A and B are shown apart, each in its own frame.
Chain A
Amino acid sequence: MQVNIVSAPDYAMAEVDLAAGEKIVVESGSMVGMSSHLEIETKAKGGVLSSLKRMVGGESFFINTYTAQGAPGRILLAPAPSGDLRHLVLGGGDFFVQSGSYVASGPAVNVDTKWGGAKTFFGGEGLFILKASGQGDLIFGSFGAIHEVEVDGSYIVDTGHIVAFEPTLQFSVRRVGGLKSLFLSGEGLVCDFSGKGKLYLQTRKPASFVSWINSFRPVQTSGD
C-alpha cells in the first residue's frame, strides 16, 4: 500500500495505491473515488457488541473494506471536515486515535474502542478514543491543521482538540479549574497527558464550530 497525501493542509485527500489483491479498511463515507474494479464489502465490524461500542464512540456502525481484485488499483479518501490528514505505519505497537479522526487502516490493523475509563464522560460530553494495534497503515484526519507536540512530562489539552497520541502517553480527563472556571471559562473538559510521546492536535474544535452554526438556526417560539 502506497499512501500519498495531496492538497494538505486545508483540504487534504489521501491517494492510496493498492497492489493486486490488497485491501484497505475505510470509515463509512470517506471514499472520494476509486478504480472501477475495486470491490467493496460492508460489514458491522467485530460483531454486534463491538459495533454498538463503535456507534457510541461517534463512529459509524458499518465499516467498508475495499479490495483491489486481480489488479492494482487506487482509492481516494477524505475526511468530512475541512483540514489535514496524516499517514502512519504502525509497527506492531498500539496507537490511540480520537474516534472522529479515524479515516482508514490496513487490514492487519485492529481498531478497537478503548474506553478511557468512566472518567472520560461528564454529563453527555466525552472523549472517545480508539485503540489501533497491529502492523500496517493508519490514516487519520483533523478539523483545521494538525499541530504536533512532543510531550515530555505533562501537558494539558482541550479534549475537543485531540486527534491522536502515542501509547507511551498516559491520559485522564477532567473539568478545568475550580468552580468559577467551570461556569465561566468556556473551556469545559481537558485531558491531562503525561509521559514521553507525540501528541497530534487539531487547530479547530468541531463542537465549537457546530455550536456557533447552531446559534444561527431559526428559533421556534413556544407558541408555534
Chain B
Amino acid sequence: MHFEVKYNPSYALAIVSLGANESVVAEGGAMVSMSSNVAIQTSMGGGGGAGGLLKALKRTALGGESFFLNTYTSQGGPGEVTFAPTLPGDIAHIQMTGPGLVIQRTSYLAGSPGVAIDTQFGGLKSFLGGEGLFMLKASGQGDILVTSFGAIHLMELDGPYIVDSGHIVAFDETLSFENKRVGSWKSTFLSGEGLVTLFNGKGRLWIQSRNPKAFGQLVGGKLPPRQQ
C-alpha cells in the first residue's frame, strides 16, 4: 500500500495505491474516486463491534455527523482509491509504529486495516464539553491519514501546553490531556476562547490552523433558520 498526498495544503487529496487484494479503511463519504475492481464494504467502525447500528446512530444523533467506516478492497489485481475531506484543508500521513494515536473524530480520513479505530474511546470524558468534539483512538501498526480545516501544524511537545479544543487534529497517546476553562469564569465567557485542552508529557500534537466550528457558526449563523 502506498499513500500520496497531492494539492496540499489547501485542497489536499490522498491517493492510495493498493496491491492485489489489499484493503484500506476510510470514513464514509470520503471516497472521491476508485478503480473499478475495488469493492466497498460498510461497517460501524472497527473495534466498536457490539451494539452496531444502534450505537452508530446514537453517535450520529449526538455528534451531528455520521461515523461509518468503509473498507475498500482491490480485488484480483492492483487498484487505487482517492480520498478527500469535506472542508478545505490538508491531509497528514502518519505512520503508527508503537503508541496509539488520539484523533478528533472529524479529522479521521483513512487508514490501513491493521490500525484499529475505537469509537467508544474514553466514553463521555472524550466529549469535550461544549465543543462537541469526540475523540477516536487508533492503535496498532500501519498508516493513518488525518485531515485539517486549514493547514496542519505539527508540534513536538515536552511539557505542558494549551490548545483551543476546536483546533485539535490528533495527538500521541503518550500525552495526557485535560479539558479546562481558560483563566477565570469571566475569561471563559468573555474571552471568546471557550474551552481549552491542557496537554502534558512528551509526544506529537497535530493542530489545525482554523476552527471548523467557528467557521460553521460564522456562515451558518447568518442563514435563515431551518425546520427541525
Q: Which residues of A contact B (CB under 8 A)?
A: 9-10, 82-83, 144-145, 147, 149, 153-158, 161, 176-177, 180-181, 184-187, 192, 194, 201, 203-205, 208-209, 212-222, 224
> Min CB distance, A167 to chain B, in Å?
19
Residues of chain B within 8 A of A220, CB atoms compared: 225-228
| Shortest CB distance B109–A (Å) | 13
Rounded to whole Å, the gap between the CB of B81 and the closest CB of chain A is 9
A83 and B11 contacting across the interface, CB-CB below 8 Å: yes
Could you jot down 22 A-B contacts, CB within 8 Å? Answer: A10-B10, A10-B11, A145-B10, A145-B11, A147-B6, A153-B36, A154-B36, A157-B33, A158-B32, A161-B33, A185-B28, A185-B29, A185-B42, A185-B70, A186-B29, A204-B11, A204-B84, A205-B86, A213-B216, A214-B220, A214-B226, A216-B213
User: Is the CB of B117 closer than 8 A to any CB of chain A?
Assistant: no
Contact of B70 among A147, A187, A217 (CB under 8 A): A187
Determine how close the nearest CB of chain B comes to the CB of A12; give it in whole angstroms: 11
Residues in chain B near residue A219, CB distance under 8 A? 225-228
User: Number of B residues contacting the other chain (C-beta, 8 Å)?
Assistant: 40
In the bound complex, how far is the Cα of B99 from the Cα of A124, in angstroms? Answer: 46
Contact of B13 among A147, A185, A222 (CB under 8 A): A147
| Interface contact A212-B216, CB-CB below 8 Å | yes
B182 within 8 Å of A (CB atoms)? no
Partner of A185, one of B12, B32, B40, B221: B40
Q: Is the CB of B42 within 8 A of A184?
A: yes
Docked pose: A66 CA to B222 CA in angstroms: 35
Kindly count the residue-residue contacts between A and B in the assembled complex, taking CB atoms under 8 Å apart: 140
Indicate if the CB atoms of A217 and B226 lie closer than 8 Å.
yes
Main secondary structure of the interface of A (DSSP, over half): mixed
Sorted nearest first, the 7 A-B pairs with minimum C-beta distance are A216-B220, A186-B29, A144-B11, A145-B7, A186-B28, A216-B216, A220-B225
Q: Do A157 and B216 touch (CB < 8 A)?
A: no
Note all chain B residues with C-beta closer than 8 A to A185: 28-29, 40, 42, 68, 70
Answer whether A186 and B13 are a contact pair too, CB < 8 Å, given A155-B35, A158-B33: no
Other contacts beyond A157-B33, A208-B29, A215-B64: 10, CB < 8 A: A144-B11, A147-B6, A147-B13, A155-B36, A156-B34, A181-B41, A203-B32, A209-B86, A219-B225, A220-B228
